């Protein structure tokens, strides 16, 4: 680890993910975002890392937080951009604009769903993608990020 890099991993969540637990549980499961944050904190402790878990329904907040991840020297970003995954060139550009590795995360497998979810502007710029493991997608992505 370089001196300017911290052992913090940003976990950024986009629109509607504040409703996890009650939002279409047949697709997204019953874990809330707080439950997922708890799982990540437990795993991060085992890995000697810290997680900073955030959620916003606003695209610009996610752009600002990607910039902040680089500015504070975060080790990596786990990004579940929700529906912005499929629409946001601003997030694509922000990921390309920073050197911090970004791992795309999804609870569901967007490729097994509607055609409009098959394009990922986030995935085109991200280092890696983990999708389809429900809440465990985040933990698997954290394990991957820890090895970078
Ligand atoms: C999601 C998949 C997206 O297509 C959807 O818009 C979401 C959640 C997922 O985690 O499976 O909001 O990112």
CATH code where residue 88 lies = 3.40.50.9100
Q: Which domain holds residue 94?
A: 8-146
Ligand 1 centroid distance, CA of 4 (Å)? 33
Ligand 1 centroid distance, CA of 2 (Å)? 33
Is the pLDDT at 4 greater than 80? The verdict is: no
Annotated catalytic, 28? yes
Annotated catalytic, 61? no
Spatial distance between the Cα atoms of 9 and 77, rounded to a whole number of angstroms: 6
**Are 77 and 35 a contacting pair, CB within 8 Å?**
no
Pocket flag, ligand 1, residue 89 (CB < 6 Å) = no
Name residues whose C-beta falls within 8 Å of residue 101's C-beta, 6 or more positions apart in sequence.
76, 77, 127, 145, 148
Q: What is the DSSP letter of 41?
A: H
Question: Does residue 1 lie in a domain region?
Answer: no
Question: Does residue 39 lie in a domain region?
Answer: yes
Spatial distance between the Cα atoms of 54 and 69, rounded to a whole number of angstroms: 12
Percent of the chain clearing pLDDT 70 (strictly above): 96
Spatial distance between the Cα atoms of 117 and 121, rounded to a whole number of angstroms: 10
Pocket flag, ligand 1, residue 85 (CB < 6 Å) = yes
Question: Which tens digits make up the pLDDT trace of 6-61?
Answer: 699 999 999 999 999 999 999 999 999 999 999 999 999 999 999 999 999 999 99
**Substitution site in 110, 133, 140 for ligand 1 pocket (most atoms within 8 Å of beta carbon):** 110
Position 3 scores a pLDDT of 41
Instruction: Name the catalytic one among 58, 86, 92, 106.
Output: 106
Strand order through the sheet with 128-131: 50-55, 8-13, 76-80, 102-106, 128-131
When divided into structural domains, the chain yields a total of 1
Question: Does residue 2 lie in a domain region?
Answer: no
- For residue 15, give the ligand 1 atom closest to its CA: 12
């Amino acid at each position: 680890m370089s001196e300017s890099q911290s052992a913090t991993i940003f976990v950024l969540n986009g629109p509607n993910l504040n409703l996890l637990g009650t939002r279409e549980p047949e697709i997204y499961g019953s874990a809330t975002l707080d439950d997922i944050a708890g799982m990540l904190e437990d795993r991060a402790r085992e890995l000697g890392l810290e997680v900073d878990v955030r959620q916003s329904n606003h695209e610009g907040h996610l752009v600002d937080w990607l910039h902040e991840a680089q500015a504070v020297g975060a080790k990596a970003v786990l990004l579940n951009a929700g529906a912005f995954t499929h629409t946001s060139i601003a997030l694509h550009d922000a990921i390309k604009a920073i050197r911090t590795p970004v791992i795309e995360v999804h609870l569901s497998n967007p490729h097994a769903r509607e055609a409009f979810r098959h394009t990922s502007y986030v995935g085109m710029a991200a280092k890696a993608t983990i999708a389809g493991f429900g809440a465990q997608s985040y933990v698997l992505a954290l394990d991957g990020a820890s090895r970078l």
